[in-house]
Structures are given as C-alpha cells and as structure tokens.
Structure 1
Amino acid sequence: MKKQHLPTKICPVCNRSFMWRKKWEKNWEMVKYCSKKCAGIKSNKGLT
C-alpha cells in the first residue's frame, strides 16, 4: 500500500491527524490516540 493511501484518524486529545502504522496492523480499529503521551493525558483529564 502506498503512503498516500494509508488510513488516518484524528487523535481526540491533540486533534492531530495520524496515519496507520505497521505495529497497529492487527488492532487499527482499537487505536484511538496518536501516541503514548496523548493516551496518558487522556487518563489525567478524564477523557474517554
């Protein structure tokens, strides 16, 4: 798959777009945050 055709999502914490990564291949549907940092901020702010 070419880079321009990779799926993207919007991180609910930082509102930035992030692309699919090979390490997320098996659980892309469950990925919500662009980074571990944003996932940690989520727990501190009480966001879902």
Structure 2
Amino acid sequence: MKTTTPAFRGNKQALPSKPCAVCGRPMSWRRKWARCWEEVRYCSDACRRRVARP
C-alpha cells in the first residue's frame, strides 16, 4: 500500500505581497484579487473602516 501526500501546488513565498495602508501588515496575493491587485489597499474590513475620511 502506497501512501500519498498532497501535491505541492507552488511556492507561496514567490507570490507578490504589499503592506496594508493602515496597519502595515503584509498581504499576499490571492487568486480572488487577480483582477484588482493594484486596487487592493487594506488587509481587512476592519482596516478599511479605520481609515479617516476627509
């Protein structure tokens, strides 16, 4: 009987990342953000709400 391990799907360290505009936490690229990666600025809804609006 052969035991199998899940296939390695890629090097996650090679994905682009950028800091959150509010807290500075690094955000890694997600497939969901593929079309709008340039527009993503916040790591969470909480940071989005914390932004001071003029």
When normalised by structure 2's length, the TM-score is 0.71
Look at both structures and tell me which one has the larger radius of gyration over its CA atoms: 2
Superposed counterparts of 1:6-21, under 5 Å: 6-21=15-30
RMSD: 1.6
1:22 aligns with 2:31: yes
Identity of counterpart residues, as a percentage?
A: 44
- Unaligned 5+ segments in structure 2 are 1-9
When normalised by structure 1's length, the TM-score is 0.78
Higher helix share: 1
User: What is the rounded CA distance, in whole Å, between the counterparts of 2:35 and 2:21 in structure 1?
Assistant: 21
Moved over 2 A (4+): none
How many residues were matched structurally?
45
- Unaligned 5+ segments in structure 1 are none
